[in-house]
């Protein structure tokens, strides 16, 4: 498997030379809010609501004092707005109380905040704090399994396997795999016939590639 990594890296780098998060943000606070909102929701949807949200709550202290009903109304178009509104207010209060109003920059501290799991923590650490972390979302999970880079059953196990394979610049490869999943290696109707990694894809070894791809 490791023999495929240099080839995959080179091709991903050629196709996606500057992959980056699609979530619009200006600082760590805005990115953390956007990441919490993006759970089981598209980045595009989150980007439609954050401008008004940040205009109303420009800082953590403003968010900590938010009315739950008002906040829920602001984010009603995302998935699970009730839970996310509670998480956002709780997150803002805890950052103020426990971290002097500064977004923490360690995985353990981030995961201790409401609404922040390992995937969300890793996104913030890699994107904003430039630390060597890889987050496994649905795109990364799907692409890495189709390519045979991981056969793990869970995102956390997949993260460990991919981190061991890619080793460095994990944030870059995280976004490159996401770009791959959004453009070619889609959940439905993957573009196998024009994929630049088709010769390395384990799904290509079957006689019914499209059918198998669509199951992942």
pLDDT digits (tens, 9 = 90+) for 5-17: 999 999 999 999 9
Indicate the residue among 86, 102, 127 that finishes a domain: 127
Residue 105 has pLDDT above 80, yes or no: yes
Are 201 and 142 within one domain?
yes
Indicate the residue among 94, 127, 160 that finishes a domain: 127
pLDDT digits (tens, 9 = 90+) for 171-214: 999 999 999 999 999 999 899 999 999 999 987 544 344 444 44
Backbone region of residue 21 per phi and psi (left: phi > 0; alpha: psi in -120 to 50; beta: other values): beta
What b/e string do you get for 111-142 counting C-beta neighbours within 10 Å, with b at 16 or more?
eebbbbbbbbbbbbbbbbbeeebbbbbebbbb
What's the pLDDT band for 141 if we cut at 50, 70, 90? very high
Taking the C-alpha atoms of residue 97 and residue 10, their distance in angstroms, rounded to an integer, is: 45
Indicate the residue among 127, 150, 179 that finishes a domain: 127
Whether residue 90 is contained in a domain is answered as: yes
pLDDT digits (tens, 9 = 90+) for 149-169: 999 999 999 999 999 999 999
Are 40 and 92 within one domain?
yes
Are 145 and 206 within one domain?
yes
Identify the pLDDT of residue 3.
Answer: 83
- For residues 100-108, give the mean pLDDT: 98
Identify the pLDDT of residue 204.
Answer: 58
Are 123 and 170 within one domain?
no
Identify the pLDDT of residue 211.
Answer: 40
Are 121 and 174 within one domain?
no
Whether residue 193 is contained in a domain is answered as: yes
Whether residue 33 is contained in a domain is answered as: yes
- Following CA atoms 44, 120, 153, 158 in sequence, which dihedral angle do they give, to the nearest 10 degrees? 100
What percent of the chain has pLDDT above 70?
94
- Annotated catalytic residue: which of 72, 86, 119, 205? 119
Domain count, the chain: 2
- For residues 114-132, give the mean pLDDT: 97
Average of per-residue pLDDT values in the chain: 92
Report the predicted TM-score, pTM, of the whole model to 2 decimal places.
0.89
Identify the pLDDT of residue 57.
Answer: 98
- For residues 46-56, give the mean pLDDT: 98
- For residues 96-101, give the mean pLDDT: 98
Whether residue 23 is contained in a domain is answered as: no
**Are the beta carbons of 129 and 137 closer than 8 angstroms?**
no
Cβ atoms < 10 Å from Cβ of 22: 16
Range of the structural domain that residue 152 is part of: 2-18+135-213
Cβ atoms < 10 Å from Cβ of 189: 9
Are 49 and 81 within one domain?
yes
- Annotated catalytic residue: which of 137, 153, 205, 210? 137
Are 123 and 53 within one domain?
yes
CATH of residue 167's domain is 1.10.1670.10
Are 120 and 54 within one domain?
yes
Are 71 and 156 within one domain?
no
Are 123 and 141 within one domain?
no
- Asked if 137 is an active-site residue, the reply is yes
What's the pLDDT band for 96 if we cut at 50, 70, 90? very high
CATH of residue 34's domain is 1.10.340.30
């Amino acid at each position: 498997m490791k023999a495929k990594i240099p080839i995959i890296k080179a091709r991903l780098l050629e196709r996606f030379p500057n992959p980056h998060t699609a979530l619009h943000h200006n600082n760590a606070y805005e990115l953390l809010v956007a990441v919490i909102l993006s759970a089981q929701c598209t980045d595009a949807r989150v980007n439609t609501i954050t401008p008004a949200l940040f205009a109303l709550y420009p800082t953590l202290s403003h968010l900590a004092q938010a009315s739950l009903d008002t906040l829920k109304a602001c984010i009603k178009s995302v998935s699970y707005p009730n839970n996310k509104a509670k998480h956002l207010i709780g997150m803002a209060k805890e950052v103020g109380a426990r971290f002097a109003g500064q977004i923490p920059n360690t995985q353990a501290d981030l995961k201790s905040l409401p609404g922040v799991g390992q995937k969300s923590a890793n996104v913030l650490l890699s994107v904003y704090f430039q630390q060597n972390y890889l987050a496994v979302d649905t795109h990364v999970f799907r692409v890495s399994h189709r390519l045979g880079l991981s056969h793990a059953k869970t995102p956390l196990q997949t993260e460990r396997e991919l981190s061991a394979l890619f080793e460095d610049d994990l944030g870059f490869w995280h976004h490159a795999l996401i770009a791959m999943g959004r453009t070619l290696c889609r959940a439905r109707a993957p573009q196998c016939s024009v994929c630049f990694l088709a010769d390395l894809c384990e799904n290509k070894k079957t006689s019914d590639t499209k059918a198998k791809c669509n199951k992942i």
